Amino acid sequence: MINPVSNSYNSNNAALNENSNAGLAADQKAIPVASKSVVNKVDSQDLTIKDQIKDLASSGPPIDKSLVNEIKNKVDQGIYPIDLDLVTEKMFENFKDAVG
């Protein structure tokens, strides 16, 4: 059975809340506080990671220029195998996705 909800004040809940607040205060005292050196170490690591991410983002995507040049040369010479059916299929798939 479901108990009805009322807007009246219940003194039993007040006693429970006072006891739980006392327990919470005791728990908070038992938790060790992080030392400043640990916090500073974490902050400096975060800054280092953030700097690395900014550097990677500003330099653009990682591209192996030697591999790109090798493929370009093979295409220019006509010795790079290109599957025209696969290229055409992918182009149509992208076109269908773009159109909806």
| Domain-embedded: residue 19 | no
Question: pLDDT band for position 30 (50/70/90)?
Answer: low
| Domain-embedded: residue 44 | yes
The predicted structure's pLDDT at residue 48: 78
Domain housing 67: 35-99
Residue pair 74/80 in contact (Cβ under 8 Å)? The answer is: yes
Question: pLDDT band for position 38 (50/70/90)?
Answer: low
- Number of domain units in the chain: 1
Task: Please tell me the distance from the alpha carbon of residue 25 to that of residue 4, in angstroms, as a whole number.
Answer: 33
Global model pTM greater than 0.85 = no
Task: Please tell me the distance from the alpha carbon of residue 57 to that of residue 55, in angstroms, as a whole number.
Answer: 5
Question: pLDDT band for position 34 (50/70/90)?
Answer: low
